[in-house]
Chains A and B, each alone.
Chain A
Amino acid sequence: MPKDSGIGASSKRREDVRFLTGAGNYTDDINVHGQAYVFFLRSDIAHGRLKSVDTSAAEGMPGVVKVFTGKDFEGVGGMPCGWEVTDKHGAPMQEPPHPILAQGKVRHVGDPIAAVVADSLEQARDAAEAIDVDIEELTAVIDMKAAAQDGSTLVHDDLKNNICYDWQLGETDDAKVDEVFANAAHVTTLDLVNNRLVANPMEPRVAVGEYKRGTDEYTLYTTSQNPHVIRLLMCAFVLGLPEHKVRVVAPDVGGGFGTKIFHYAEEAFCTFAAKACNRPVKWTSSRTEAFMSDAHGRDHVSKIELALDAENNFVGLRTNTYANLGAYLSTFSSSVPTWLHGTLMAGNYKTPVIQVNVKAMFTNTVPVDAYRGAGRPEATFQLERVVDKAARELGVDPIALRRQNFVTQFPYDTPVALTYDTGDYNGTMDKLEAAADLAGFAARRAQSEANGKLRGLGINCYIEACGIAPSNIVGMLGARAGLYDAATVRVNATGSISVMVGAHSHGQGHETAFPQVVADMIGIDESMVEIVHGDTSKIPFGMGTYGSRSLAVCGSAMVKATEKVIEKAKRIAAHLLEASEADIELKDGQFSVAGTDKSVAWGDVTLTAYVPHNYPLEVEPGLEETAFYDPANFTFPAGAYACEVEVDPETGQVSVEKFTAADDFGNIINPMIVDGQVHGGIGQGIGQALLENCAYDENGQLLSASYMDYAMPRADDVPFYGVDHSSQTPCTHNPLGVKGCGEAGAIGSPPAVVNAVLDALNSGGKAVDHIDMPVSPSRVWAAMNG
């Protein structure tokens, strides 16, 4: 029986009511009295030397408050990078400065050169047109492999080359890896591209800076997944402000998908300019501006080699990847191709020898950072594509080949630095085979063929690592932050509860799911518990929401704080019931003395905590507890996906006919929300596989800078999805046994789609090994007719 409340119930989302009635409070809905508007003049040249920026005409334009250029930010800090990667020779990564407004050079189309603050946005935009910018155009560095060559034009003149780092993980002895490959019975090799994407949350970024002269206090309203991280970075590294004088608010946020993790120049600018102009300053990104300034995702070019023995056991894996970091280091960009990618190359398999090589490149493109999955989709795509290709070359069933090589004993130490605590990959594959009705595929293929279409089935597995932690380990790996989280459980006198959490909800439904946990622990109605998030002045601290970490990390902090509350409440109840604390039990919101009919209600105990007349003298009044939680390990969700496509042999058009996901997320708090997270991830994964591509020409012009040119998946590009979460191996090291579900769909689905297309083409007699994403009709047609 499905539960109707508490842990495991598909409680309807309470936040929906405001979103469905137009009563949400997104950052662009916030207007501060007296605010001015900023328009950023952005470079339309990918690479050039700034010879002069003449703002004199603009300064005299109607409504203009002040015009800023890079000179105004000399002596002010630049945008920081939060992760120092050490290269394979022990040297720190090359870390060039990233000024708020361009200084000396522009390094990508969209790099901000000047900012006009005016009474209205239209006046600011008009005045920006009057700024006279003289740029000496330089050769644009776009192709990653060319950028790595000696003698390439330098994106940053002060660096020795365009290589941020040359990094390695796994087996360091090249000769040993060579020997494994030399002795292999079979080697499968694949060159592939993980296409550059733009996250595209539907809400563009917005920042409103406010400064109060009387108290020397700043407020920044911003579209962020992690307001405390923004405050810390901006105060400590960019503007040099005392944190206690800065409040950062991230109210309702219209989607993030990673791209709203990072600290952006526009946030620091609006905060800085609010004081400089003595007026609130608001910036609202246009969509085209978003394409030119939101951090992009993916953009890897890889060669992967898989060695198998005569029994088809995986014996070795080697990858060589070029990763594009763009023109500057975005906040967590350096960690994505390394610790979030290389560590996942074992996948679900017990391959004994793995070597991962990554060269990360500076180019004259928008900075690249984490996008839903962040490194894990890139790892999964490589691995699951090469395994599929190996199965085809060997003439074996792709599911059987995977099953044969699955990790089956846990905990399992991979050759690439992780310890998987738990999982059941065969069990999850069993669920997939049933849920996807793989037995019925042959009949469906025959039906498609009767309709003149080729039908293909693509299978893949994935494993991901969520809730990146613990802080002491990630610190050793170069993280410049801790990766714990915090929660305060504040019980009010009448028994209702406010929970201040460091996680930030921007679509994930925390306002509904988190109360389910607290209410369940106490045995009270969910409506008595409210979640407060997104405001540094209201919550204790928080690292925010990304990497599918909210429930596993912040949820654990919330559980710990609730446990402290219950423990104290039991002491109060014991006093009221004149019993020993050890005998007090809490069930359904009633404290009772074990083995008796004596009890006192939750509300009576909470009232006593705040009206402590009949009260234990040794206990402090009040009922509020805070907990910080630093996980012992990552969590490891895993799954198996099946995609069925039809290919029109006349046009190369691919249609996704059926998509089934079987995931193991451990325990689940709200199945409805979990299903929704998987649906959304699959939608984005199908988008990557078939439609989306962020394209630059050889001069660094961004060709896909609007929804006219960047193909977002639409409702008629995708089918209904089948999802099965009944395979559950609870996480062994957090109190809820949860793993995280936010990114799985986007990680697991692209290889399933591509594998399906290739299966369709091969079933039609076309021996096609690989097609790069997006698998567009023209690419399919060319592969069929090449």
Chain B
Amino acid sequence: MTQVSMTVNGKSVSGDVEGRTLLSSFLRDHLSLTGTHVGCDTAQCGACVVHVNGEAVKSCNMLALEADGTDVGTIEGQSNADGSLNVIQQAFQDHHGLQCGFCTPGMVMSAAALLKENPRPTEAEIRKYLEGNLCRCTGYHNIVKAIMAASGQDAGSIAAE
């Protein structure tokens, strides 16, 4: 067991982990931050995306020890200070960008990373950026629409209905 320390959603945390413990397991099993989901074994589905030092990272593909000393953000830390939904979360609700909710944390974290580096992405740019996030429920229509809306674009007139 090795001690690992990091900042998660602004709070300092530490724990004893095995060398093989994944960041996703550390978040879920040690910190009880179960909003980060694990949907595959091969870093394909993106349900586990979190932010590590501001970058979108698949937490199932990173060892907890590798995250030692980093600043980690998870879905639990995304809401506004008053607890209300942030702009991206609100856009997902407004545009029905989620159904079963399982891929949703990863989608929201990926969308946040996208909009940070590209504040006004085109439809094609959004679709390309989400290639590492699988959703089985929505057919992606309303996810793409929600991200366009979160970026301040008129999603309704862009997406055919």
- Residues of A that sit less than 8 Å from B by CB: 12-13, 15-24, 26, 28-29, 122, 199-204, 252-255, 257, 286-288, 506-509, 658, 672-673, 675-676, 679-684, 686, 706-708, 712-716, 718, 720-723, 745
Contact yes or no, B139 A707, CB < 8 A: no
Contact yes or no, B139 A683, CB < 8 A: yes
Contact yes or no, B141 A679, CB < 8 A: yes
Rounded to whole Å, the gap between the CB of B61 and the closest CB of chain A is 13
Name 14 interchain pairs, CB-CB below 8 A, sorted by A.
Answer: A13-B96, A16-B93, A20-B78, A29-B34, A202-B135, A202-B137, A254-B101, A255-B99, A286-B41, A287-B39, A507-B137, A712-B44, A714-B140, A720-B141
Contact yes or no, A21 B37, CB < 8 A: no
Stretch at the interface among B51-59, B64-72, B122-130: B122-130
Closest to B79 in A: A21
Q: Which of the listed residues B45, B100, B135 has the most CB atoms from chain A within 10 Å of its own CB?
A: B100
Contact yes or no, B101 A19, CB < 8 A: yes
Rounded to whole Å, the gap between the CB of A364 and the closest CB of chain B is 24
Contact yes or no, A676 B135, CB < 8 A: no
Contact yes or no, A22 B161, CB < 8 A: no
Report if A17-B136 is in contact (Cβ < 8 Å); known contacts: A24-B35, A723-B161.
no
Out of A26, A680, A707, A713, name the residue touching B102 (CB < 8 Å). Answer: A26
State in angstroms the CA–CA spacing of A26 and B105 once bound together.
13
Contact yes or no, B85 A20, CB < 8 A: yes
Out of A24, A201, A252, A508, name the residue touching B136 (CB < 8 Å). Answer: A201
Given contacts A17-B93, A716-B124, 13 further A-B pairs with CB under 8 A are A22-B35, A26-B102, A201-B102, A201-B136, A202-B37, A203-B37, A254-B39, A507-B137, A675-B96, A714-B140, A718-B140, A721-B139, A721-B141
Out of B37, B89, B98, B145, name the residue touching A26 (CB < 8 Å). Answer: B37
State in angstroms the CA–CA spacing of A15 and B140 once bound together.
19
State in angstroms the CA–CA spacing of A202 and B161 once bound together.
26
Closest to A723 in B: B161
Contact yes or no, B39 A202, CB < 8 A: yes
Report if A202-B78 is in contact (Cβ < 8 Å); known contacts: A715-B127, A718-B139.
no
Contact yes or no, B128 A287, CB < 8 A: no
Rounded to whole Å, the gap between the CB of A632 and the closest CB of chain B is 30
State in angstroms the CA–CA spacing of A24 and B98 once bound together.
13
Cβ–Cβ < 8 Å partners of A252 in chain B: 100-101
Cβ–Cβ < 8 Å partners of B92 in chain A: 16, 20
Report if A683-B138 is in contact (Cβ < 8 Å); known contacts: A21-B79, A287-B40.
yes
Contact yes or no, B131 A507, CB < 8 A: no
State in angstroms the CA–CA spacing of A29 and B24 once bound together.
13
Closest to B25 in A: A121
Cβ–Cβ < 8 Å partners of A287 in chain B: 39-42, 45
Cβ–Cβ < 8 Å partners of A707 in chain B: 40, 42, 44-45, 134
State in angstroms the CA–CA spacing of A684 and B99 once bound together.
14
B149 within 8 A of A: no
Contact yes or no, B44 A715, CB < 8 A: no
Contact yes or no, B134 A20, CB < 8 A: no
State in angstroms the CA–CA spacing of A122 and B20 once bound together.
10
B23 within 8 A of A: no
Cβ–Cβ < 8 Å partners of A506 in chain B: 100
Contact yes or no, A15 B101, CB < 8 A: yes
Cβ–Cβ < 8 Å partners of B135 in chain A: 202, 715
Cβ–Cβ < 8 Å partners of B100 in chain A: 201-203, 252-255, 506-507
B1 within 8 A of A: no
Cβ–Cβ < 8 Å partners of B159 in chain A: 720
Contact yes or no, B104 A19, CB < 8 A: yes
The 10 closest A-B pairs by CB, nearest first: A22-B35, A683-B139, A19-B101, A254-B102, A507-B100, A707-B44, A507-B99, A22-B75, A716-B127, A29-B34
- Interface size on B (CB < 8 Å)? 60
B160 within 8 A of A: yes
The DSSP consensus for interface residues of chain B is loop
- Residues of B that sit less than 8 Å from A by CB: 18, 20, 28, 33-42, 44-45, 47, 74-76, 78-79, 85, 89, 92-94, 96, 98-105, 108, 123-124, 126-128, 130-131, 133-145, 158-161
Closest to A255 in B: B100
Contact yes or no, A679 B139, CB < 8 A: yes
Contact yes or no, B102 A122, CB < 8 A: no
Rounded to whole Å, the gap between the CB of A451 and the closest CB of chain B is 16
Closest to B105 in A: A22
Report if A20-B39 is in contact (Cβ < 8 Å); known contacts: A29-B34, A201-B136, A708-B44.
no
Cβ–Cβ < 8 Å partners of A21 in chain B: 35, 75-76, 78-79, 85, 89
Rounded to whole Å, the gap between the CB of B160 and the closest CB of chain A is 4
Closest to B126 in A: A715
Q: Which of the listed residues A29, A508, A720 has the most CB atoms from chain B within 10 Å of its own CB?
A: A720
Contact yes or no, B104 A715, CB < 8 A: no
Cβ–Cβ < 8 Å partners of B94 in chain A: 12
Q: Which of the listed residues B39, B44, B103, B138 has the most CB atoms from chain A within 10 Å of its own CB?
A: B39
State in angstroms the CA–CA spacing of A720 and B155 once bound together.
11
Q: Which of the listed residues B36, B94, B161 has the most CB atoms from chain A within 10 Å of its own CB?
A: B161
Report if A20-B141 is in contact (Cβ < 8 Å); known contacts: A26-B37, A202-B136, A507-B99.
no
Closest to B158 in A: A720
Cβ–Cβ < 8 Å partners of B133 in chain A: 715
Contact yes or no, A720 B33, CB < 8 A: no
Contact yes or no, B102 A255, CB < 8 A: yes
Out of A20, A122, A288, A681, name the residue touching B98 (CB < 8 Å). Answer: A20
State in angstroms the CA–CA spacing of A745 and B127 once bound together.
21
Rounded to whole Å, the gap between the CB of A14 and the closest CB of chain B is 9
Contact yes or no, A679 B130, CB < 8 A: no
Report if A255-B85 is in contact (Cβ < 8 Å); known contacts: A287-B42, A716-B128.
no
Closest to B129 in A: A715
Contact yes or no, A712 B42, CB < 8 A: no
Q: Which of the listed residues B92, B98, B133, B141 has the most CB atoms from chain A within 10 Å of its own CB?
A: B141
State in angstroms the CA–CA spacing of A21 and B108 once bound together.
10
Closest to B20 in A: A122
Report if A122-B18 is in contact (Cβ < 8 Å); known contacts: A21-B78, A22-B74, A203-B39.
yes
Cβ–Cβ < 8 Å partners of B38 in chain A: 28
Out of B33, B44, B74, B99, name the residue touching A680 (CB < 8 Å). Answer: B99
State in angstroms the CA–CA spacing of A399 and B104 once bound together.
40
Cβ–Cβ < 8 Å partners of B128 in chain A: 715-716
Cβ–Cβ < 8 Å partners of B134 in chain A: 202, 707, 712, 714
Cβ–Cβ < 8 Å partners of A13 in chain B: 93, 96
Contact yes or no, B108 A20, CB < 8 A: yes
Out of B79, B124, B136, B138, name the residue touching A676 (CB < 8 Å). Answer: B138
State in angstroms the CA–CA spacing of A723 and B123 once bound together.
19
Report if A684-B35 is in contact (Cβ < 8 Å); known contacts: A122-B20, A507-B99, A672-B96.
no
State in angstroms the CA–CA spacing of A658 and B100 once bound together.
26
Contact yes or no, A715 B130, CB < 8 A: yes
Rounded to whole Å, the gap between the CB of B13 and the closest CB of chain A is 16
